[in-house]
């Protein structure tokens, strides 16, 4: 029996994963360019700095993750994952190019951005669970945790590069070109998907089509207390904690009275923290439930330190700590949920995970925004801290329950 390889970048020894990672990095930079350009377009060109309009775009873009939940998980478990990814990536690329052409020609209107955000959200809802479970086909279960961590590192490295690149493009040639470049970046993923050595893929078991197949995922999760605990933790932190655009922008402007450059530095320091968290996750040989507890508790601590930080640079340091904790928590939940789930159910379980982690943003963002506007930005961070500590308590309960069940089973066998 062969032992799994070790090392931070061990998944890159696999040809198919190397090809995938190269295409994904290019596409991730494009995605962050589009997010930055889309906010800029809505705020400065289509409205008079209307933050509510940006909130509507966020709701339309992330809402489909919850709205389409049964169908997205069903598709991930029943269809050929490589072909489904090629379809979703091609659709998202075409949407980015269409929005770019409308913007470049000066025809774009706010309602059109809303429509494109919703369509992009629908395509992304089908794409996300497949993209997460497809990693298992590339590297197998032995290196799954490592590959998930490297994917997160790529996404967050792009988070440092994309907004800066978008700023340069917008300043030099206009907002529409950022959308067009994002559309072109999807060609990198499509090329990587077509260059795979198909014979070396490790296909996940496909689910059999049966009546009620879409709801089977909900029933499966309901029968697994460990999965329920992880989803409750994700709901708490995803809804009330992962609102860093609100936290950072309101603290930067209203508390520390800094300019756009100061805001950019804070965003980059946060991204450095998340990349560090991804590197630490990549070093671990396997995911453990205790890492979820640690990630949630340190997330709460980081938000607390950020809320009470007396100076700009101490606030930046707290953001770095919070970034490490965020990636520890999200990566561990991703790996644990995949590795502890039957292969034929992974797509539906991961669709639930993505739906709760992203789809609850439209619920939490307005609440956190209201808190930042009224009691103040520091209080909005207190909400984030509370979500981390509450999630840590859920983890403690789940671990104690697991230990109790093992103790009972041990006594039962002894009898």
Task: Return the higher-pLDDT residue of 394 and 52.
Answer: 394
Q: Are 169 and 33 contacting, i.e. CB atoms less than 8 angstroms apart?
A: yes
Give yes or no for residue 3 having a pLDDT over 50: no
For residue 2, the model assigns a pLDDT of 39
- Alpha-carbon distance of 117 to 329, in angstroms, equals 28
- Mean pLDDT score of the chain, rounded to an integer? 86
Q: How many CA atoms, within 13 angstroms, populate the side-chain half-sphere of residue 313? A: 0
Give yes or no for residue 388 having a pLDDT over 60: yes
Instruction: Give the CATH architecture of domain 11-202.
Output: Up-down Bundle (1.20)
- Alpha-carbon distance of 317 to 388, in angstroms, equals 18
- In the predicted model, what is the mean pLDDT of residues 124-129? 90
Can you count the helices (H) and strands (E) in the chain? 16, 0
For residue 209, the model assigns a pLDDT of 53
Q: Among the ranges 10-14, 75-79, 180-184, which has the highest mean pLDDT value?
A: 180-184
For residue 412, the model assigns a pLDDT of 58
For residue 205, the model assigns a pLDDT of 56
For residue 415, the model assigns a pLDDT of 54
For residue 1, the model assigns a pLDDT of 36
Task: Return the higher-pLDDT residue of 180 and 284.
Answer: 180
Which of 365, 399, 389, 151 is closest to 277 using CA atoms? 151
At a CB cut-off of 8 Å and minimum separation 6, what does 123 contact? Answer: 88, 91, 92, 95
**Fold: same for 11-202 and 212-414:** yes
For residue 24, the model assigns a pLDDT of 92
In degrees, to the nearest 5, what angle opens at C-alpha 231 toward C-alphas 227 and 233?
Answer: 115
The dotted CATH code for 212-414 is 1.20.1250.20
Which of 365, 375, 273 is closest to 316 using CA atoms? 273
At a CB cut-off of 8 Å and minimum separation 6, what does 218 contact? Answer: 70, 352
At a CB cut-off of 8 Å and minimum separation 6, what does 403 contact? Answer: none
- In the predicted model, what is the mean pLDDT of residues 347-356? 84
CA dihedral for 407, 409, 413, 415, sign (positive or negative): positive
Which of 97, 75, 85 is closest to 190 using CA atoms? 85
Give yes or no for residue 195 having a pLDDT over 80: yes
At a CB cut-off of 8 Å and minimum separation 6, what does 148 contact? Answer: 132, 135, 281, 331, 334, 335, 338
Give yes or no for residue 318 having a pLDDT over 60: yes
Q: Tell me the per-residue pLDDT of 78-111, one tens digit each, with 9 for 90 and over.
A: 888 889 999 999 999 999 999 999 999 999 999 9
Q: Tell me the per-residue pLDDT of 60-69, one tens digit each, with 9 for 90 and over.
A: 888 888 888 8
Q: What is the DSSP string of 294-312?
A: HHHHHHHHHHHHHHH--SH
Which band of pLDDT confidence, cut at 50, 70 and 90, is reported for residue 10? confident
- Alpha-carbon distance of 17 to 11, in angstroms, equals 7
Give yes or no for residue 276 having a pLDDT over 70: yes
- Alpha-carbon distance of 113 to 102, in angstroms, equals 10
Which of 79, 20, 82, 70 is closest to 344 using CA atoms? 79
User: What are the structural domain ranges in the chain?
Assistant: 11-202, 212-414
Q: Among the ranges 241-250, 253-262, 402-411, which has the highest mean pLDDT value?
A: 241-250
For residue 207, the model assigns a pLDDT of 53
Q: Among the ranges 63-77, 142-156, 303-317, 369-383, which has the highest mean pLDDT value?
A: 303-317
For residue 134, the model assigns a pLDDT of 86
For residue 4, the model assigns a pLDDT of 47
Which band of pLDDT confidence, cut at 50, 70 and 90, is reported for residue 118? very high
Tokens standing for residue 99: 């929005």
Q: Are 127 and 89 contacting, i.e. CB atoms less than 8 angstroms apart?
A: yes
- In the predicted model, what is the mean pLDDT of residues 4-20? 82
Q: List strand residue ranges (DSSP E) for 41-136, in order.
A: none
pTM: 0.75
In degrees, to the nearest 5, what angle opens at C-alpha 178 toward C-alphas 173 and 184?
Answer: 120
């Amino acid at each position: 029996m062969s032992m799994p390889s070790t090392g931070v970048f061990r998944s890159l020894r696999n040809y198919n994963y190397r090809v995938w990672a190269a295409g994904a990095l290019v596409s991730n930079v494009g995605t962050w360019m589009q997010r930055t350009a889309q906010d800029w377009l809505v705020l400065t060109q289509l409205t008079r700095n209307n933050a509510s309009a940006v909130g509507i775009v966020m709701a339309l873009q992330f809402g489909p993750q919850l709205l389409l939940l049964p169908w997205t998980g069903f598709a991930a478990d029943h269809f050929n994952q490589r072909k489904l990814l090629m379809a979703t990536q091609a659709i998202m690329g075409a949407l980015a190019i269409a929005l770019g052409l409308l913007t470049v020609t000066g025809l774009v209107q706010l309602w059109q951005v809303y429509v494109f955000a919703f369509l992009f959200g629908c395509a992304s809802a089908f794409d996300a669970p497949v993209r997460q479970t497809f990693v298992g086909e590339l590297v197998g279960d032995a290196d799954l945790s490592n590959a998930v961590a490297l994917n997160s590192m790529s996404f967050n490295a792009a988070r440092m590069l994309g907004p800066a690149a978008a700023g340069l493009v917008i300043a030099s040639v206009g907002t529409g070109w950022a959308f067009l470049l994002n559309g072109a970046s999807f060609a990198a993923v499509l090329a990587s998907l077509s260059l795979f050595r198909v014979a070396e893929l490790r296909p996940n078991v496909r689910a059999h089509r049966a009546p009620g197949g879409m709801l089977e995922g909900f029933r499966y999760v309901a029968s697994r207390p460990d999965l329920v605990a992880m989803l409750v933790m994700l709901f708490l932190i995803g809804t009330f904690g992962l609102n860093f655009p609100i936290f950072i922008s309101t603290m930067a402007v209203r508390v520390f009275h800094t300019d756009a450059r100061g805001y950019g530095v804070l965003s980059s320091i946060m991204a450095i923290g998340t990349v560090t968290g991804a590197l630490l996750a990549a070093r671990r040989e396997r995911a453990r439930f205790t890492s979820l507890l640690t990630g949630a508790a340190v997330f709460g601590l980081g938000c607390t330190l950020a809320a009470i930080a007396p100076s700009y640079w101490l606030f930046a340091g707290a953001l770095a700590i919070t970034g490490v904790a965020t990636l520890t928590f999200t990566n561990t939940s991703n790996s644990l949920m995949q590795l502890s789930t039957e292969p034929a159910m992974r797509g539906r379980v991961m669709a639930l995970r993505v739906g709760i982690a992203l789809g609850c943003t439209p619920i939490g963002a307005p609440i956190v925004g209201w808190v930042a506007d009224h009691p103040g930005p520091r209080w909005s961070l207190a909400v984030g801290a509370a979500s981390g500590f509450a999630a840590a308590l859920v983890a403690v309960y789940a671990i104690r329950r697991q230990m109790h069940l093992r103790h009972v089973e041990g006594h039962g066998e002894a009898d």
